[in-house]
Chain A
Amino acid sequence: MADLTGIIRGLTDWEYSGSISRETRFFSDLGLESIDAVVLGEAIETHYRQRFPYAEFLATLGERNQRDITIGELVDFLHPHLNGSGRQWPSGGPK
């Protein structure tokens, strides 16, 4: 959660000064755009130096009625991959 908050707070000229919690929403609360959520995936992967099925995660969220993403949902998505219980890439790394 702290890592993710740090990555998000690293955005350019970002006016948001409020607190970030599990319930904070990407678009409605943080004022981000869909492209920001997409590009954030690369920043997260670079930070952890591993790939996640991030595009699949975003696409799954896009199919539901509630189009916004909460920080908690992103944390819950990343967590199993970081502790090794998530799906592993066949190559063990990017590509």
Chain B
Amino acid sequence: MAFGGAKVTRRCLLIGLDGATFSILDPLMEDGAMPFLKQFVESGTRAELHSVIPPLTPPAWASIMTGRSPGNHGVFDFVTFESPDSRYVRFSSSSDLRCETIWSMVSRQGLSATALNFPLMAPTRPISGCVVPGWVPWRHLRRYCYPNSLYQHLQALPAFNVKQLAIDLDMEQKALDGCPPEEQVEWVRSHLQRERQWFEILAYLMRTKPHHLTAVVFDGVDKLQHLFWRLLDPACPPRGRSPWEEEVRKLCLDYFRRLDGIIADVVTLAGDGANVFMVSDHGFGPSQEIFYVNNWLSQNGYLTWTGNGPENQDTSTELGLSLGMLGSLESMIDWARTTAYARTPYSYGIHICVGGRRGREGIHEVEYPVFRKRLMDALGRFSDPKSKELVVTDVWTREEAFPGTLTDLAPDLTFWLRDGGVPSTVKSDALLRHRAEPVGSHRSKGIFLARGPAVAKRARLPQVSVLDVTPILLYALGLPIPEDLEGRVPPEMFESSFVRTHPIVTGEPTRAPEPFPSPAADGEGEEEVVTRLKALGYLD
């Protein structure tokens, strides 16, 4: 069937650009640094993509992959409590994602998928297709490639380098906590190398094992924007840039130029018949302020420090993101004299200690509603000691921020700050600090772009949600939309002739994944995968 001269096939390409935002991409397209993206945007559909609360990578990608909100899929942060009665945390993983992914929905309806570099995919669950998970340290990557035999094929690729490909937590941390000047050039280059590594795998799989849905995340955009926002945002005045900064800016622009080339190559490989979608998990903006949330809790009588552990009086960029900090918070807090605390910076969340929930210490269960309201009001009243302006612009209860079946796993309160900055959980002598230079931090509005034979030409939609991505992809693949998905398919995103002949059909609900993934055995072939999927109830 032909629409606009091109054949419509059941093939879709999803390109994830972690943290991409129009306020950076539009000027880059106008200045000629991203010519392919400019052409793509001009000929397809564009919209702002609204993220989850708070706009954070794991819950946002989880919503993109499942069409469900955090209160239902169960991922709220990079880390999660390791049990219902524990204050200790571990990294969030695929076992915490309690809703079916689009890769599984596609597989059980007779189609196949490739998913590369998505978070929360390890340990890998069986699908009809291939998975190389993101956010996995290099030593663990072979174990988590799906099928297991895939890693041997990747190793045989001429430029394959697992250390360049996999996440490096030290490198990740430098995006947020700062990177020494002497390392910055190599730091930017390493992100380009990573994108190239993922592209080589993607190109290999698209040529040798093409699937109906091919999806990849390129995550360097997020990292460069965090560290070098001041060099990328045209709204940041260039006066006063040192020659060194000009050099780093050139490298960043080169990253975006080369990323544009990678995107062009991937779209070309997908072919004219494929419908192509590009999304980011959240947007970005400048921030120059650090709010020391645990210090605020301490000064307001909710938290007591033990005196153990590092104090952060001099390094104003330290947010408390390191593995060491996550562990040491346990010994830094006097739990017998603490009723509320923030576990991680990026969750923007505050946990209330209720006796009997996670330890004996805390308030009585019956006090909870009144206590939470009092804390919520106090936090919302916190103002800048100098300007007297309110610092905390929003405070939500978990029922407000995360409605769903898994609300109880979320922080008791979630807040947002006036300049969109990331709070710090470390002990400090201050409540607020101003950074010397602006950095990039997450915002709600990301990007949504689409182009292809079924997609409306030169259309601009006011707004799409991360919850809509899975329904949109299923529709473009010719599959029904499970009735329990929370997003929708905006009909105006597609050619009217396509919508007329392809009605949006609602189908059976999704199937919850088993608690622990059952990884494929070595050498498991497609037939065995189908058998296994059937045995697991994924295929009829």
Binding site for B on A (CB under 8 A): 10-14, 32-36, 38-43, 45-46, 49-51, 53-56, 58-59, 62-63, 89-91, 93-95
Query: What chain B residues lie within 8 Å of A41 (beta carbons)?
Result: 90
Number of CB contacts from chain A to chain B under 8 A: 101
Report the separation of the CA atoms of residues A26 and B511 in the bound assembly, to the nearest whole angstrom. 39
How many whole Å from B269's CB to the nearest CB in chain A? 27
If A34-B323, A35-B169 are given as contacts, then 11 extra A-B residue pairs at C-beta distance below 8 Å, sorted by A number, are A11-B143, A13-B162, A36-B139, A38-B323, A45-B95, A46-B517, A51-B83, A53-B86, A89-B83, A90-B84, A95-B515
Query: What chain B residues lie within 8 Å of A46 (beta carbons)?
Result: 95, 123, 516-517, 519
Select A56's contact among B86, B95, B136, B138, beta carbons within 8 Å: B86
On whether the beta carbons of B139 and A11 are closer than 8 Å, the reply is: yes
Report the separation of the CA atoms of residues A38 and B137 in the bound assembly, to the nearest whole angstrom. 10
How many whole Å from A56's CB to the nearest CB in chain B? 4
Chain B 289-309 against A: per-residue CB contact (8 Å), 1 yes, 0 no? 000000000000000000000
On whether the beta carbons of B83 and A10 are closer than 8 Å, the reply is: no
How many whole Å from B367's CB to the nearest CB in chain A? 22
On whether the beta carbons of B142 and A13 are closer than 8 Å, the reply is: yes
On whether the beta carbons of B330 and A59 are closer than 8 Å, the reply is: yes
On whether the beta carbons of A11 and B84 are closer than 8 Å, the reply is: no
Report the separation of the CA atoms of residues A55 and B140 in the bound assembly, to the nearest whole angstrom. 18
Is B88 an interface residue when CB atoms closer than 8 A count as contact?
yes
Query: What chain A residues lie within 8 Å of B86 (beta carbons)?
Result: 53, 55-56
How many whole Å from A15's CB to the nearest CB in chain B? 11
Report the separation of the CA atoms of residues A59 and B326 in the bound assembly, to the nearest whole angstrom. 9
Is B59 an interface residue when CB atoms closer than 8 A count as contact?
no
Is B91 an interface residue when CB atoms closer than 8 A count as contact?
yes
On whether the beta carbons of B139 and A12 are closer than 8 Å, the reply is: yes
How many whole Å from A37's CB to the nearest CB in chain B? 10
Is B331 an interface residue when CB atoms closer than 8 A count as contact?
yes
Query: What chain A residues lie within 8 Å of B328 (beta carbons)?
Result: 62
On whether the beta carbons of A55 and B82 are closer than 8 Å, the reply is: yes
Chain B 77-113 against A: per-residue CB contact (8 Å), 1 yes, 0 no? 0000011111011110101101000000000000000
How many whole Å from A57's CB to the nearest CB in chain B? 9
Select A12's contact among B138, B169, B516, B519, beta carbons within 8 Å: B138
Which bucket holds chain B's interface residue count?
A: 35 or more
Query: What chain A residues lie within 8 Å of B169 (beta carbons)?
Result: 35
Chain B 337-369 against A: per-residue CB contact (8 Å), 1 yes, 0 no? 000000000000000000000000000000000
On whether the beta carbons of B91 and A42 are closer than 8 Å, the reply is: yes
Report the separation of the CA atoms of residues A69 and B98 in the bound assembly, to the nearest whole angstrom. 32
Select B82's contact among A33, A34, A51, beta carbons within 8 Å: A51
Query: What chain A residues lie within 8 Å of B516 (beta carbons)?
Result: 45-46, 49-50, 94
Is B74 an interface residue when CB atoms closer than 8 A count as contact?
yes
Is B409 an interface residue when CB atoms closer than 8 A count as contact?
yes
Known A59-B330, A95-B409: A53·B88 in contact at CB below 8 Å: yes
- Give me 15 A-to-B residue pairs in the complex whose CB atoms sit less than 8 angstroms apart, sorted by A's number: A11-B143, A13-B162, A32-B139, A33-B137, A35-B137, A38-B90, A40-B140, A46-B123, A46-B517, A54-B90, A56-B82, A56-B88, A58-B327, A90-B84, A95-B409
Is B417 an interface residue when CB atoms closer than 8 A count as contact?
no
On whether the beta carbons of A35 and B95 are closer than 8 Å, the reply is: no
Select A91's contact among B84, B95, B140, beta carbons within 8 Å: B84
Query: What chain A residues lie within 8 Å of B84 (beta carbons)?
Result: 89-91, 95
Report the separation of the CA atoms of residues A93 and B83 in the bound assembly, to the nearest whole angstrom. 9
